[in-house]
Amino acid sequence: MIQIQNLNRHFGGRFRQAKVSAIAGLDLTIQPGELFGLVGPDGAGKTTTLRILAGILKPSSGTATVNGHDVVDDAEAIKQELGYMPQQFGLYPALTVDENLNFICDVFGVFGNAREQRIQELLDFTNLHEFRGRLGRQLSGGMQKKLSLTAALVHHPKVLLLDEPTTGVDPVARREFWDILTMLHTEGSTVIVSTPYMDEAERCNRVGLMYDGQLMVCDTPNAVKRMLPGMMFALRADNLMLAENVLKTVEGIHDIQPYGDVLNLLVEDESVGTRITACLHDAGVKIESLRPAPPRLEEAFIYFVRQFSTNHVQEVSA
Amino acid sequence: MSGRVLNIAWKDMLHLWHNRTLLILVIFGAACELLLVGWATGAEIDDLKTVVIDHDQTAISQGLIDALGAASALTLNEDAVSDLTKHNTRDAALDDTFTGGNFIFNPDNVLVVEIPAGFGAQLTAGEQPQVTLTLNGANSVGSTTARRAAEEVLYTYGAVVLTQNMMEHMGQTPPSADQIVASLESNHPDVVVRYNEELDRAAYTTPSEAAFVLYIIAIMVAAFMLAREREYGTFEQLLVMPQRPIEIIIGKAIPALLVGYANFILVLVEMNVVFDIPVRGSLLLLLVLAIGYLFVELGRGFMVAMIARTQNQALLIVMLMAFVDITFAGYAVPVESMPQVMQALSNLFPIRHWMIILRGILQKDIGLDVLWPQLVWLAALGLIINGITLWFFRRSLAEQK
Amino acid sequence: MTNRHMMAIARKEWLHITRDPMTIFLLAIGPVLMLILVSYAMATDVENVPTVIYDLDQSELSGQLADELDATNVLDVQGYVSSEAAYQDKLERRKTKLVVIIEEGFGEQISTLDGLMSLETAKPKFSFVIDGTDPISAETALEAAMKTSEAFVTGQLGAVLDEQQAAGMADDLITLYRLQLESPINTTVENRYNPDLKAIWDLVPAMIAVALVLPGMSISTVIARERSEGTLEALVATPINKHAILLGKSLPYMITSLINVCLMYVVARVVFDVPFRGSLPLYLLLSALYAFATLSIGLLFSILIPSMEAALWASMMFFLFPGVLLSGMFFPVDVFPFLVKIETIELPVVSGVIINRGMFLQGVGARELWWNIVVLLIIALEGFEIAGRLFKKRIA
Ligand SMILES: Nc1ncnc2c1ncn2[C@@H]1O[C@H](COP(=O)(O)OP(=O)(O)O)[C@@H](O)[C@H]1O
Ligand SMILES: [Mg+2]
């Protein structure tokens, strides 16, 4: 369905501007019916990738096809079968919800009863009914996102590209959003969604971890977590601040992440556990509990970024 | 206070710096305009299409045609007559039914000179032949210029032919045409033209344009800059900053002031170098007064931004306003010729006073002893306009907070 | 398909225009407003030019000359000055634009025939000083002053001749003198289309063309607006045809332009009493063509200049300055130097002014205006074509 081969895109480089490489050598294949998550921090190149797939940005080199259409030569054909939701609010702030949706229906040729039905359906879906008369700019951030999604769905697209659909959306709405995406997925749509949130990535059937314009890992969430070497410990203690400082010096600990009153520790193997207990005891920290915990994508991601950037630095210096 | 003002000014300067297209337009746009307008209007008028219908067909009428053709303002449209006869298989020149009306409908032709049959004979006999000039009233400036040129030619040519003929008739050797022309000229009263000795149009339009440059840039920078913030909601950002309204206004005025001023200097230099229009009066005074004027117009620019809800509206309002301002600046029609009400009204437009100051210093070398009323007007208008703007600004701040 | 897309865009754009009362007001009434305001103020002929007399002769005849000058429409004699410094001062303070200096011996000179006898004594004993800053009104004032004063002098001398003839002067000599007084050739001047040379007849049709630049300016920011609002990204990601986008965006502006043409036509006829001598259907058609050409240029600006602020500036600089000052409204375009003339051909407003004046005053039709029609067609189609070619459905 989607094939990306050795894709590159850089910006700038003219008029003494610094040259930025937004995507560097991206390879990716996405099958029909997937719910694919493109995960990465700000500036990783997610938006650039999605824009290229949507046919609105030319790659600097490399090829990409969507439904067999090339993104450069056949961009208009792609747009027929595509629903694209940009990261920014892409609808008209000076028009009402209804007017915006009518405009999209006009564009895609959805008329008459079919239009009324489709709009009803989508508004049910996104709970926007009571805001139909409100101007785009008067909607809250979350509602704007929902409206953008609605607009992207009007014409039953085969492929959906969603760029950070849940950024700036409250947790309840976020859950609703993902329910919608899951539903679309089960209905058989191909959905590609970019997100900076790791917990969301867990809900995809496959994720690609993107960093600095490259795909570090690409697999199912469980497989990605399994790639993580070592294991996780969850630590509860009376003085977490002190504990964190102490543990920084302990060998065999890859990563320390505070989560409320828990400290998540990524360690080489189980044997590190005894060392931790000892060190904390020496420092006078009282341990409430120290248990093995299941690793999450977040830890995996951070681990891979570390790996990747040290490799990267080595490559560059070599 | 000054630090916080400069904060805002700096932010706007950065904005300008990052938008290169805008930067180039802002800095060089006005100078290019001036070149174009100066060149266009400064040219000698020498291309007014004139058709001559010669019903006389004598050596004397031919001489008149040549004299008309030699006039620098006129260009004979020689094909017009033959084109017409081609279609009509008649000889237009000899057919009395052909008049100016047959040619003047063509928007190209500005003037038709119709030489009557018997012109030569009547002229030499001193019988004052009747020549008809048909003007294209749809092009009034062109046709008026053409008429003046033609009348001048007719008078001189007639006097030369007539005098030479009379002298011969009386058995004296006639003076040469040049001598006659010289004596005719000495018969005219003297005319001294002040301030623009050659009656050069460029010397009129380019200072006007220079005045407009300062005016429009001040208005545009101020109006568009603030309208942008309002449209994109960054206005909110301004509101949460610790600056007081007056500080915000001044902060925003500084970049506009710099840009407007830079343009003004560029335009002054260009006028001097390209169009040879020097500053005859005190340059220092002009430069100082320009700052004052800029402040007045900046106030109006901000006012536009407070009225407009989007940048597009600001654009339309500025255009409408500029038109009215240019009218009342006395550019196209002298204010003295306007109806009394309009004349009184014209005092309310700062550009009117600025135009007087600019021309006065630039061309007449006069100083504050003469220009003080304009200065008082500008100061009063500036206070009122900026007062209203500040009030508007405070009100919208209060609304948003 | 393209049609559907175009209507979709047009409908949306129309909503945008009509959403905000201020925008619809500015677009629908702005040009008419401009026409009325500017015409009222500007449609003034050069008249009442303030004039002072510096009379060194102090004779009865010099007083009569002053009265004659005052009797013209163009000049307004405001009084006498008693020294050179005094008129100098008045010139500087713009209290006067024209000074008539009557030298000593003026009255005497025109009461005898001496002046007609030899060149030495012929020099007229009056002269003018004029403020030349505004050359066009200076020339008009000067012409009026010259004509009036020369007519006065000729009339006086004619009267003297009549007396001499009655007193038995030789006929030959009388004829010779008379010839010198009278102009050798009489001229009849016929002002076609605008017999009284009413400035307002001249101005209003031109203003109609000029006022229609407002929609053109407005459209020059449409693409920039989509870009700055972030809506362009979603728009270009739809399969909408790009020509449909451009046409659809022009359509509402086309409609407001045509509404304006109709309103301005009525204002011109009813309020300003300007005659309309052409064919109305043709006029509407050509106005539509002119509006389209202006919108094409605006659209081209919109695509060439991606940022909102720069688009605002560019359209202001283009439409206001060359667009208005070089439109042919104030200065005839025929007199511009070659290069500028080439330049002005690209300005639709130049052809617009010619077409409007031609159809209102001259009553000409498509045959006489063919060149301007061709120019407008080329600008409209070519502008649109280039805009279409430059407009990429991409974001960078
Ligand atoms: N139009 C552009 N011009 C210059 N640089 C850009 C542009 N778009 C993106 N970039 C740069 O490319 C990189 C990747 O950006 P983006 O794809 O938006 O990342 P993400 O969506 O993952 O946050 C960033 O460093 C960004 O600054
Ligand atoms: Mg992004």
pLDDT digits (tens, 9 = 90+) for B148-177: 889 888 888 888 888 888 777 777 777 777
Q: In what order do the strands lie in the sheet with A82-85?
A: A82-85, A159-163, A190-195, A35-39, A206-211, A214-219
C225 and C319 belong to one structural domain: yes
Average pLDDT along chain C: 83
> So what's the pLDDT on residue B257?
86
- Residue C337 pLDDT level (bands cut at 50, 70, 90): low
A231-237 and A262-267 as β-strands: parallel, antiparallel, unpaired? antiparallel
> B 16-75 residues with CB below 8 A of C?
19, 21-22, 25-26, 29-30, 33, 36-37, 39-41, 43-49
Pick from A107, A156, A159 the residue to mutate for testing the C interface (most C CBs within 10 Å): A107
CA distances from C361 to B139, C38, C261, C287 (A): 10, 19, 17, 16
Q: Are B281 and B365 in contact (CB under 8 A)?
A: yes
State the Cα–Cα distance between residues A230 and A273, nearest whole angstrom: 12
Whether this model's ipTM surpasses 0.95 comes out as no
Q: Amino acid identity, residue C214?
A: L
C157 and C216 belong to one structural domain: no
In chain A, which ranges are continuous DSSP H helix? Answer: 46-53, 75-80, 97-108, 112-126, 141-153, 171-186, 198-201, 221-226, 240-247, 272-283, 297-317
For residue A44 and ligand 1, the question of a CB distance below 6 A is answered with yes
State the Cα–Cα distance between residues A57 and C237, nearest whole angstrom: 10
Checking if the pLDDT of A120 tops 60, the result is yes
Contact A103 C7 (CB under 8 A): no
Q: In what order do the strands lie in the sheet with A253-259?
A: A253-259, A262-267, A231-237, A287-293
> Residue A137: which of B309, C2, C4, C22 has the closest Cα?
B309
Would you tell me the crossing angle of helices A141-153 and A97-108 to the nearest 10 degrees? 20
The tokens for C19 are: 């959403």
Q: How many structural domains does chain C have?
A: 2
- Choose the final residue of a domain: C192, C207, C235: C192
Phi, psi dihedral angles at C299 (to 5 degrees): -65, -40
C238 contacts in chain A (CB < 8 Å)? 79, 104, 107-108
Structural domain includes residue C14:
no
> C 75-104 residues with CB below 8 A of B?
91-94, 97
Contact A80 C239 (CB under 8 A): yes
Contact C37 B323 (CB under 8 A): yes
Beta-carbon-side half-sphere exposure of residue A259 (alpha carbons within 13 Å): 15
> So what's the pLDDT on residue C333?
61
Q: In chain A, what percentage of residues exceed pLDDT 70?
A: 97
In sign, the C-alpha dihedral spanning A217, A223, A229, A230 is positive
C243 and C364 belong to one structural domain: yes
Q: What is the mean pLDDT of residues B23-32?
A: 79
Checking if the pLDDT of C364 tops 90, the result is no
- Residue B215 pLDDT level (bands cut at 50, 70, 90): confident
A281 exposure class (CB count in 10 Å sphere: 0-12, 13-18, 19+): exposed
pLDDT tens-digit profile of B346-362?
899 999 999 889 888 88
Contact B107 C344 (CB under 8 A): no
For residue A12 and ligand 1, the question of a CB distance below 6 A is answered with yes
C180 and C253 belong to one structural domain: no
Q: Which of A9, A39, A47 to mutate to test the pocket of ligand 1 (most atoms within 8 A of CB)?
A: A47
State the Cα–Cα distance between residues A179 and B75, nearest whole angstrom: 82
Domains, chain B: 2-41+199-400 (no CATH), 45-186 (3.40.1710)
State the Cα–Cα distance between residues B126 and C41, nearest whole angstrom: 47
> So what's the pLDDT on residue C288?
95
> So what's the pLDDT on residue B84?
61
Ligand 2 center to residue A10 CA distance, Å? Answer: 15
- Residue B41 pLDDT level (bands cut at 50, 70, 90): low
pLDDT tens-digit profile of C224-268?
888 888 888 888 888 888 888 999 999 999 999 999 999 999 999
Contact C239 A76 (CB under 8 A): yes
> So what's the pLDDT on residue A206?
93
Structural domain includes residue C15:
no
Q: What is the mean pLDDT of residues C107-119?
A: 71
Contact C214 B319 (CB under 8 A): yes
Q: Are A217 and A224 in contact (CB under 8 A)?
A: yes
Partner residue facing B107 (CB), from C213, C313, C358: C358
Phi, psi dihedral angles at A289 (to 5 degrees): -160, 150
**Among protein residues, the one whose CA lies closest to atom 10 of ligand 1:** A22
In B51-170, which ranges are continuous DSSP H helix? Answer: 59-70, 79-88, 101-104, 119-124, 140-169
C300 and C179 belong to one structural domain: no
Instruction: Give C152→chain B minimum CA distance, Å.
Output: 13
> Residue B352: which of B335, B364, B339 has the closest Cα?
B335
C153 and C292 belong to one structural domain: no
CA closest to B31 among chain C residues? C317
> So what's the pLDDT on residue B382?
92
Compute the C-alpha angle C17/C19/C23, nearest 5°: 50
For residue C184, the 8-state DSSP code is S
State the Cα–Cα distance between residues C39 and C35, nearest whole angstrom: 6
Q: Amino acid identity, residue C368?
A: E
SS3 C103: coil
State the Cα–Cα distance between residues C218 and B316, nearest whole angstrom: 7
> So what's the pLDDT on residue B167?
77
Average pLDDT along chain B: 81
Partner residue facing A90 (CB), from C7, C12, C234: C234
Structural domain includes residue C290:
yes
> So what's the pLDDT on residue C386?
93
Structural domain includes residue C12:
no
State the Cα–Cα distance between residues C314 and C302, nearest whole angstrom: 9
Checking if the pLDDT of A16 tops 80, the result is no
Residue where the block lists tokens 């106030």: B299
> So what's the pLDDT on residue B172?
75
Torsion, Cα B182 B184 B187 B189, to 10 degrees, reads -80
> So what's the pLDDT on residue C332?
61
Q: Are B37 and C325 in contact (CB under 8 A)?
A: yes
Q: What is the mean pLDDT of residues A288-301?
A: 83
> So what's the pLDDT on residue B83?
64
Q: Amino acid identity, residue A119?
A: I
Ligand 2 center to residue A193 CA distance, Å? Answer: 11
C159 and C245 belong to one structural domain: no
Partner residue facing C45 (CB), from B158, B330, B337: B337
Contact B22 C313 (CB under 8 A): yes
SS3 A94: coil
> C 345-384 residues with CB below 8 A of B?
354, 357-358, 360-364, 368-369, 372
Structural domain includes residue C40:
no
C94 and C126 belong to one structural domain: yes
Residues whose CB is less than 8 angstroms from the CB of residue C177 and which lie 6 or more positions away in sequence, other chains included? C113, C116, C157, C161
Checking if the pLDDT of C122 tops 70, the result is no
Terminal Cα-to-Cα distance of chain C (whole angstroms) = 26
For residue C396 and ligand 1, the question of a CB distance below 6 A is answered with yes
> So what's the pLDDT on residue C171?
75
* Most trustworthy range by pLDDT among A3-17, A85-99, B70-84, C163-177: A85-99
Total beta-carbon pairs less than 8 A apart between chain A and chain C: 80
Range of the domain at C112: 49-192
For residue A208 and ligand 1, the question of a CB distance below 6 A is answered with no
Ligand 1 center to residue B305 CA distance, Å? Answer: 33
Ligand nearest to the CA of A45: 1
Q: What is the mean pLDDT of residues B276-287?
A: 87
Compute the C-alpha angle B126/B130/B135, nearest 5°: 145
- Residue A5 pLDDT level (bands cut at 50, 70, 90): very high
Checking if the pLDDT of B238 tops 80, the result is no
Partner residue facing A94 (CB), from C16, C395, C396: C16
Contact C233 A89 (CB under 8 A): no
Checking if the pLDDT of B9 tops 70, the result is yes
> Residue B219: which of B256, B258, B262, B268 has the closest Cα?
B256
Which numbered atom of ligand 1 lies nearest the CA of A46? 22
State the Cα–Cα distance between residues B305 and B256, nearest whole angstrom: 14
Partner residue facing B363 (CB), from C123, C133, C337: C133
CA closest to A10 among chain C residues? C396
Q: In chain B, what percentage of residues exceed pLDDT 90?
A: 8
State the Cα–Cα distance between residues A150 and A83, nearest whole angstrom: 10
pLDDT tens-digit profile of B69-115?
888 888 888 776 666 655 554 555 556 666 777 777 777 788 889 88
B393 vs A97, which has greater pLDDT?
A97
State the Cα–Cα distance between residues C97 and B196, nearest whole angstrom: 13
Ligand 1 center to residue A20 CA distance, Å? Answer: 8
Ligand 2 center to residue A86 CA distance, Å? Answer: 9
- Choose the final residue of a domain: C150, C174, C192: C192
Pick from C77, C128, C249, C313 the residue to mutate for testing the B interface (most B CBs within 10 Å): C313
pLDDT tens-digit profile of A74-95?
888 888 889 999 998 888 888 8
- Choose the final residue of a domain: C142, C171, C192: C192
What CATH number does residue C54 fall under?
Answer: 3.40.1710.10
pLDDT tens-digit profile of A252-279?
887 888 887 888 888 888 888 888 888 8
In sign, the C-alpha dihedral spanning C335, C340, C341, C345 is negative
Chain C partners (3+ C-beta pairs within 8 A): A, B
Q: Are B389 and B302 in contact (CB under 8 A)?
A: yes
> A 86-145 residues with CB below 8 A of C?
86, 88-95, 99, 102-104, 106-109
C113 and C205 belong to one structural domain: no
In chain C, which ranges are continuous DSSP H helix? Answer: 2-19, 21-42, 60-71, 84-92, 106-109, 114-117, 135-166, 171-181, 199-211, 213-219, 222-229, 232-236, 242-266, 280-304, 308-320, 338-345, 348-357, 370-390
Checking if the pLDDT of C119 tops 70, the result is no
Residues whose CB is less than 8 angstroms from the CB of residue B203 and which lie 6 or more positions away in sequence, other chains included? B42, B196, B275, B277, B363, C133, C135
C206 and C316 belong to one structural domain: yes
Checking if the pLDDT of B383 tops 90, the result is yes
C228 and C168 belong to one structural domain: no
> So what's the pLDDT on residue B95?
61
Ligand nearest to the CA of A211: 1
State the Cα–Cα distance between residues B277 and C252, nearest whole angstrom: 46
> Residue A166: which of A134, A210, A207, A199 has the closest Cα?
A199
C353 vs C176, which has greater pLDDT?
C353
Contact A106 C8 (CB under 8 A): yes
> Residue A48: which of A58, A34, A63, A35 has the closest Cα?
A58
> So what's the pLDDT on residue C380?
93
Q: What is the mean pLDDT of residues B296-303?
A: 90
For residue C335, the 8-state DSSP code is G
> So what's the pLDDT on residue C33?
87
> So what's the pLDDT on residue C208?
92
Within 10 angstroms of residue A46's Cβ, the number of other Cβ atoms is: 27
Long-range Cβ pairs for the range B244-248 (8 Å, 24+): B245/B390, B245/B393, B245/B394, B245/B397, B246/B390, B247/B1, B247/B4, B247/B5, B247/B8, B248/B8, B248/B393
Structural domain includes residue C37:
no
Terminal Cα-to-Cα distance of chain A (whole angstroms) = 38
Q: In chain B, what percentage of residues exceed pLDDT 70?
A: 89
pLDDT tens-digit profile of A18-66?
888 999 989 999 999 999 999 988 889 999 999 999 999 999 999 999 9
Q: Are A12 and A19 in contact (CB under 8 A)?
A: yes
Domains, chain A: 2-220 (3.40.50.300), 229-294 (3.30.70.980)
Q: What is the mean pLDDT of residues A191-199?
A: 90
For residue A13 and ligand 1, the question of a CB distance below 6 A is answered with no
Which numbered atom of ligand 1 lies nearest the CA of A163? 21
- Residue B259 pLDDT level (bands cut at 50, 70, 90): confident
C54 and C184 belong to one structural domain: yes
Structural domain includes residue C3:
no
For residue A48 and ligand 1, the question of a CB distance below 6 A is answered with yes
Checking if the pLDDT of C286 tops 90, the result is yes
A99 contacts in chain C (CB < 8 Å)? 12, 15
Partner residue facing B21 (CB), from C122, C137, C307: C307
State the Cα–Cα distance between residues B229 and B236, nearest whole angstrom: 8
Structural domain includes residue C287:
yes
- Residue B279 pLDDT level (bands cut at 50, 70, 90): confident
